[in-house]
Amino acid sequence: MTSQFPQSYNKSFKTIDEQIELLKSRGMLFRDESQAKHHLLNLNYYRLSGYWLPFKQPDDSFNPNLYFEDIINIYMFDSGLKALLYQALEMIEISAKTKFAYYLSQVHGSHPLKTENFTNEYHFAQSYAKLQSEIERQKERNFIKHYREKYAEELPPLWVCVEVMTFGLLSQLTKNIKNIKVKRAIARCYDLDMRIFESVLYHLSTIRNHIAHHSRLYNQTSEITFGIPKILEDQCNKNQLGSLYNTIVICDYIVKKIDPKSSLLADVETLAEKHGIDKCVMGYKS
């Protein structure tokens, strides 16, 4: 009879030396064990295990000729990739926040965060509460202190609120805007259909969260996909909608709308070549 309770965790603590011996027993090779110890002490065995997982056999052994240094190379590529995407997402987030505040305030005034301006009252109430909480959390920032000391309204004007708004909250509020003309005006700034823009914002907010929490990215598939714009249909991989490649393509597209000199897609490809990464694991077309 199977127990109704989960089993207890019974794996014991292992020293760095023991971790290396375990990896060796499973077939991993090392060029420099002292450097490997340094990495394990600073990067965490469990974190690195996500990078060597694709190289494991069903019996827990590693593929032949797999070096620990190969895993570190992939890890360094992933770190560089996240840095490039983070920079792009920062530009997109700031731009989208600016347009959200501008077009909504243009129609509804300086304080448009009111129930009547949003489609779903329940979702708006949740978003409003999250924004209040975020403003309270950051109440010591000079611009918030200045506002509270000088003005009576509960929240600052929208162009101030967006400075403390998370990417996720921006996505939720944008989708919930009642005035269709406002939503279309924001999306048109990027030459995107309104519904596609909403899905892109939501997708990118989840990628932003993955990066912020230092999660592995390069060979991950996102469950939160987005609508492919017609202009990118030939470039995107429609057979792998949740692939990182599609994320890079849409980021590259939007960032170029903000800064035509940007080169995210080319920078990622250069980084992949530097580290000898098989781009197919990111959803690139073969």
Summarised one tens digit per residue, pLDDT across range 119-178 is 999 999 999 999 999 888 877 777 777 777 777 677 889 999 999 999 999 999 999 999
- Tell me how far apart the terminal alpha carbons of the chain are, to the nearest angstrom: 49
Other beta carbons within 10 angstroms of residue 71's beta carbon come to 22
pLDDT band at 286 (very low <50, low <70, confident <90, very high): confident
Asked if residues 258 and 87 have their Cβ atoms less than 8 Å apart, the reply is: no
Q: Angle, nearest 10°, between helix axes 33-43 and 45-52?
A: 110
Burial readout 233-258 (b: 16 or more C-beta within 10 A, e: otherwise): eebbbeebbbbbbbbbbbbbbbbeee
| Phi and psi, residue 202, nearest 5° | -65, -45
**Whether the predicted pLDDT of 1 surpasses 80:** no
Other beta carbons within 10 angstroms of residue 140's beta carbon come to 7
Q: What is the pTM of this model?
A: 0.91
Q: DSSP labels for 177-241?
A: BS-HHHHHHHHHTTT--HHHHHHHHHHHHHHHHHHHTT---TT---SS--PPPGGGTTTS-TT-T
In whole angstroms, what is the distance from residue 32 CA to residue 175 CA? 52
**Please, what sign has the CA dihedral across residues 28, 33, 39, 40?**
positive
**Whether the predicted pLDDT of 244 surpasses 80:** yes
Helices (DSSP H) in the chain: which residue ranges? 16-25, 33-43, 45-52, 68-108, 121-137, 142-150, 158-161, 167-176, 180-188, 194-212, 244-258, 264-275
**Mean pLDDT, all residues of the chain:** 93
**Whether the predicted pLDDT of 9 surpasses 90:** no
Q: What is the pLDDT of residues 64-78, one digit of tens each?
A: 999 999 999 999 999
